């Protein structure tokens, strides 16, 4: 009997004379009888440190990027402009550093706020 460990990044299969496949999960070690194998064994080698270390590093990188993107979204989170009266729109404009004329219409105030948001 021989044994093999799957250190690759995915499941691998060993073709058997019976027509079946001996599936080997990532990190799994299986024993097999060499006379039952058809063809060459699949490549089950992986990166230094093993596949699970590589996958964990990639997951950590992805999670860090998600946190960065969530922080970016939060920094750009602005109150909605729809359904606001003129006083509320003027308060939003002031808070966001948008200058508007006293006689500006609601649509003009919204347009000025949106223009500033699209620049920043």
- Residue whose tokens read 């989170």: 77
pLDDT digits (tens, 9 = 90+) for 5-30: 998 888 999 999 999 999 999 999 99
pLDDT digits (tens, 9 = 90+) for 35-89: 999 999 998 887 645 556 667 778 888 999 998 888 778 777 788 899 999 999 9
Domain ranges of the chain: 2-70, 78-119
Read off the pLDDT band of 93 (50, 70, 90): very high
B/e letters for 9-44, b = 16+ CB within 10 Å, e = fewer, are eeebebbeeeeeebebebeeeeebeeeeeeeeeeeb
DSSP 95: H
pTM, rounded to two decimals = 0.40
Report the sign of the C-alpha dihedral through residues 17, 21, 22, 26, in that order: positive
Residue 31's DSSP bridge partners are: 3
């Amino acid at each position: 009997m021989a044994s093999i460990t799957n250190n690759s990044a995915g499941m691998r299969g060993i073709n058997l004379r019976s027509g079946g496949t001996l599936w080997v999960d990532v990190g799994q070690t299986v024993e097999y009888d060499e006379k039952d194998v058809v063809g060459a064994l699949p490549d089950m080698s992986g990166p230094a440190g093993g596949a699970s270390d590589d996958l964990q590093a990639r997951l950590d990188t992805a999670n860090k990027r998600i946190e960065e993107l969530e922080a970016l979204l939060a920094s750009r989170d602005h109150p909605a402009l729809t359904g606001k009266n003129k006083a509320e729109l003027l308060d939003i404009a002031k808070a966001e550093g948008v200058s508007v004329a006293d006689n500006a219409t609601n649509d003009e105030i919204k347009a000025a706020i949106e223009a500033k948001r699209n620049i920043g």
